[in-house]
Copies of this chain bind each other. A is one copy, B any other.
Amino acid sequence: MLPMPTRWWGWGDTAHSFSLAEHSRLWPFISSRIGELATANLPVDINAIELPPPRLGAAELSELAVLAGGESCLATDKESRVRHAYGKSYQDLIRLRRGQLDSPPDAIVFPRSHEAVMGILALAVHRQLPIVPFGGGTSVVGGITGPDQPYLVLSLAALNRLISVDSISRTARAQAGISGPELERSLAGYGMTLGHFPQSFEYSTLGGWIATRSAGQQSSQYGKIEDMVLALRLATPRGELATLALPAASDGPELKRFLAGSEGTLGVITEAVLRTWPIPATRDYQGILMPSFEAGITCIRQLLQKGLKPATLRLANTAETLATFAMRPTEPSGVRQWVNQLAKRWLGPLNDRCLLISGFEGTIAEVKRQKHYALKLAKEGYGGVSLGAKVGQEWYRQRFALPYLRDVLLDHGIMVDTLETATMWSNLSLLYQEVNKALETALANWGTPGLVLCHVSHAYLNGASLYFTFIARQDPDHVLEQWWACKSAALHAIVANGGALSHHHGVGRDHAPWLTKAIGPLGVQLIQSARHAIDPAGLLNPQVFAGTDKLQS
């Protein structure tokens, strides 16, 4: 395969990055909270990385290449091995930047068909060779972690086609390795969209979304990915496992919903049938400033429970609101001047204000009607102040850009990570406070007090998700230990207070220590028994759903 024009040590396309020069207020904002910043702390040169030679023999490699579809479907070169060794979690990036690859894959296969995947799995069983399935490689929970023995990464990159569209039923069948942009581009040819736009959209894949129960930023309208899947096809070590495309059924325990979320452990998802929608005639995103996080939460809940169908309702807490405003481009624009004026005139200081982004998608009339209703309720019911469409549009335009900022912060020795959860409306404030407190305490205990930001990222009829970001100076001698102290404190608080283990990132290896607490010992055994039935030798993504609450290498 041709090397991808993306960063092996960070996020996205090498042609894009987050420019500090264009966001000159951000730096002072962050350093005012976390203290002096380290000097440049850049990733090693890839040429400096030395990997042990692949532990697979020439005969085995040649057999794999044949099974996958030819010589071009196998890679053992260093760059490919580095690029497929990890996902994109904070821990992954730290290790990559250090060139610390303790257990890189011995080879990467790029099978060209479902049948080729089946063949590779059969060989893997024969040779007792673990397999780590790889979609876009964007996991932030350790979903891509190889075992301490020879193993194979199975990339779905060559299974990247839209297979067919059923315009009567409004569905599409696609291969699992198709990326977000490829899928949307293909569907657009039929006037359709999937409506699934997670922050990782540009690099993540359909199969990865399904395997991790991903949520797009418009999930209030389009649902989570598992709501969109009408059928799945998997290649497993014991044969094909496929479900029928059905609008609804009563055929026993729902397999499709059990296989979604299996994170590569119950087979390799190779195809899915998806619910699609006509591309909306219009999209309208607005910024609204709410007087408090509580008022914003109640307003969002009311909007949904009164029957509105927003695409997005996204509410930043005060800290994240301030960070968002600090992140606006440096050059004072008309918008910013107006916001500043407005803020001064109507709101006083921003200190306890919260930014709400409301988005509607659909027909022009319907979007207009709903937007007006939302603005009216926010203003009259909860003291919100409209910041207008430009703030909303700016959020929409920048909605995939934040991961680039993470790389810049890492370059400067700043720890930054995110985690998310969900709960019922009646428990949302408690969960928010407890996780916030856990993160702040963990940061302070480490001696690196920092910034804890939070927003309500996905809102539903009966509850919502909370998305936390924590930022602090790295402890240079204990970079991963510091991070794990914060992460594990937050996870403890989440499971102790009725939160979902994750809302849309998955379990991976990093959340696995809390899985038993989250779903109970019998729930874990149910998953283990399924795993044993499908994959008796335990070869599929063996590091996932397993682990202790100690930091793992």
Contact = CB atoms under 8 A, between A and B. Distances in A.
Contact of A522 (B241, B252, B502, B511): B241
Contacts of A528: 533
B523 A462 contact: no
Nearest to A504: B250
Given A170-B305, A529-B533, A533-B525, A460 B247 contact: yes
Contacts of A344: none
A280 to B, nearest CB: 11
Given A226-B254, A258-B258, A500-B251, A424 B246 contact: yes
B250 A212 contact: yes
Contacts of A506: 250, 252
Contact of A244 (B219, B263, B518): B518
Interface string A203-231: 00000000011110001000010100010
A240 B526 CA distance: 13
A479 interface: no
A392 B409 CA distance: 64
A545 interface: yes
Interface string A487-515: 00000000000101111111100010001
B249 A422 contact: yes
A169 to B, nearest CB: 4
A465 B246 CA distance: 10
Nearest to A528: B533
A275 to B, nearest CB: 6
Given A307-B362, A426-B168, A251 B501 contact: yes
Interface string A410-425: 0000000000001111
Contact of A251 (B171, B240, B427, B507): B507
A255 interface: yes
Interface string A444-475: 00000000000000101111110000000000
Nearest to A234: B522
A527 interface: yes
A279 to B, nearest CB: 14
B219 A248 contact: yes
A152 interface: no
A532 interface: yes
A366 B370 CA distance: 13
A520 B242 contact: yes
A426 B166 contact: yes
Interface string A239-274: 111111111111111110111111100100000000
- Tell which of A245, A266, A366 has the most Cβ of chain B within 10 Å: A245
Contacts of A230: 424, 462
A246 B425 contact: no
A425 B464 contact: no
A534 interface: yes
Contacts of A275: 461-462
Contact of A460 (B214, B240, B248, B257): B248
A38 interface: no
Nearest to A305: B170
A243 B422 contact: no
A425 B169 CA distance: 5
Contact of A533 (B244, B507, B526): B526
B522 A171 contact: no
Nearest to A242: B520
A236 interface: yes
A201 to B, nearest CB: 16
The 7 closest A-B pairs by CB, nearest first: A247-B463, A529-B533, A249-B500, A257-B257, A213-B250, A168-B426, A169-B424
6 contacts: A168-B424, A248-B500, A250-B504, A252-B507, A255-B519, A255-B527
Given A166-B426, A525-B534, 19 more contacts: A166-B424, A168-B426, A169-B462, A170-B425, A170-B462, A212-B250, A215-B248, A243-B519, A248-B500, A249-B501, A251-B502, A252-B506, A252-B519, A253-B257, A254-B257, A255-B258, A307-B366, A522-B534, A529-B530
